[in-house]
Amino acid sequence: MSGFLLLLLAASLCTAADHNWPQFHGPAASGVGAGAPPSEWNGEKGTNILWKTPVPGLGHSSPVIWGDRMFLTTAIPAEGAAPLKVGLYGDITPVKNEGAQKLTVMALDRKTGKVVWQQTAFDGVPKFLRHPKSTHANPTPATDGKHLVAFFGSEGLFCYDLNGKLLWKKDLGPLDAGFFRVPSAQWGFASSPVLFEGKVLVLADVQKDSFVAAFDVKTGKEVWRTRREDVPTFGSPAVLPYTAGGKKSWQVVINGWKHTGGYALDSGKELWRLNGGGDIPVPTPIFSSDLVLLTSAHGSDRPIYAIRPDAAGDITGNKQHIAWKAERTGNYMQTPVALDGIGYFCFDNGVLSVFQLATGERLYQQRLGAGTSGYSSSAVAAGGKLYITNEDGLTHVLALGKEYKELSRNELGETVMASPAIAGDVLYIRGQRHLYAIGKK
């Protein structure tokens, strides 16, 4: 079976036996798992907590999974504990005087939570500061079952085998992902790498000389690099299908502000572009119901775009290529989830908007919680349920479908900024201090 069909099947939950979660937000960034994690747990009481492993330092990267191994990254300060300020606020001032950090890659046993190996990728003072809600280990690693790629922005791109042996590393230069309107507000790099068909794909939308590039996973050699015309953005690239001349192939889709676009996987050639949307885009593109789904929310527009996969050229305002657009309802932080023809989009204040993908009709809108907590972690879905976790560690479990139905609310007991991962019937959530495995027991 071709890679094209495999990815589509994974995204539509047809690969029920597949327990791998190889990149940020799972297969094809879909956020969809194949199993059925529980609806109820409690981190402090231990209810349905299979194991709980301390994670040193501070990081917002999500765990990735291949077989019985889990991988994640963290930044361990040389002195003291790294502060983290969560919640709904507008402070843009970066954290200063943090000193040296050990940027670390960890491997754990998925079934027990035991740390199998730990490698320091970088030890020193990072080139740029971070936002008080950010970390020096934001990007989620990626794996293909043979290689593990970790990206630490200005501190380098690193490739390991699954036993922790460093295969190669690359210095991609200074990558300042700060606020484009106030260049002194350095916020920290966030875009996660993607590993697909032997290529490591990285996005570097930064203050100067933005680009998207592909590297050979075996050697680290640059395969192609395409310049981008955009300000700093914070989402990850996504490899999604497209059709041209009746032929199906792969494109690398980037969520931007001035330059959202699709690029040919094999060459980096631009296929289409779109101007407009939120000026600090964070969500990663996803593919569902034969549509590329994009959303962003910072600024006045807050759009959701549903784009046909045969898009070509400049499609700004082009109804031939844009199936529908919904304004004032997009996501700021969260990558959405789409399944069975329905899309779930959650804003950072907890307002969930649910759409029929075929038409763009909004099925319902519901506020989760009291509107006092931030929602930065991206939602995930499995077993007919949608899991949305806020920054206080409270997870809303909802029934998937056209009507709002909350099944439960579950407290983890610590701050959560990272997006969960799913393997089989187990939900893995990274808190500020621990990694949790949540399953029936």
16 band by pLDDT with thresholds 50, 70 and 90 = very low
Task: Report, as an integer, the average pLDDT of 248-265.
Answer: 97
| Digit-coded pLDDT (tens) for 90-134 | 999 999 999 999 999 999 999 999 999 999 999 999 999 999 999
Q: pLDDT band at 17, cuts 50/70/90?
A: very low
Number of Cβ atoms within 10 Å of the Cβ of 285: 28
Residue 245's pLDDT band (cuts 50, 70, 90): confident
Residue count (the chain): 441
Mean pLDDT in the chain?
A: 95
* Domain 3-438: CATH architecture, name and number where available: 7 Propeller (2.130)
Q: Report the pLDDT value the prediction gives residue 243, as an integer from 0 to 100.
A: 82
Per-residue CA distances from 43 to 46, 386, 430 (Å): 5, 19, 12
Residue spans of the domains in the chain: they are 3-438
| 299 has a pLDDT exceeding 70 | yes
Tokens read off for 204: 């570097």
pLDDT band at 246 (very low <50, low <70, confident <90, very high): confident
pLDDT (average), residues 244-256: 92
Q: What are phi and psi of 294, to 5 degrees?
A: -130, 145
Please say if the pLDDT value at position 62 is more than 90.
yes
How much is the pLDDT for 53?
Answer: 98
| CA separation for the pair 384, 402 (Å, rounded) | 12
Q: Which residues contact 389 (CB under 8 A, 6 or more apart)?
A: 375, 377, 379, 395, 396, 412, 416, 420, 429
C-alpha span between 324 and 340 (Å, rounded): 18
pLDDT in tens, 152-203: 999 999 999 999 999 999 999 999 999 999 999 999 999 999 999 999 999 9
Strand 270-274 to 313-314 pairing: parallel
Does the pLDDT value for residue 297 go beyond 60?
A: yes
**Sheet containing 394-399, strands listed edge to edge, beginning at the edge strand earlier in sequence:** 380-382, 385-389, 394-399, 406-411
pLDDT above 70 for 285: yes
Output the CA torsion 178→184→185→190 (10° steps): 20
When mean pLDDT is compared across 18-27, 36-45, 133-142, 146-155, the lowest value belongs to: 18-27
Residue recorded with tokens 């893995």: 428
Starting at the edge strand that comes first in sequence, how are the strands of the sheet with 322-326 ordered? 286-288, 291-295, 304-307, 322-326
- The model's confidence at residue 75, banded by pLDDT at 50, 70 and 90, is very high
Which pTM was predicted? Answer: 0.95
Cα–Cα distance, 428 to 437 (Å, whole number): 5
Tokens of 195: 């590993």
Contact present, 229 and 259 (Cβ < 8 Å)? yes
Give residue 18's pLDDT.
62
5 pLDDT above the threshold of 90: no
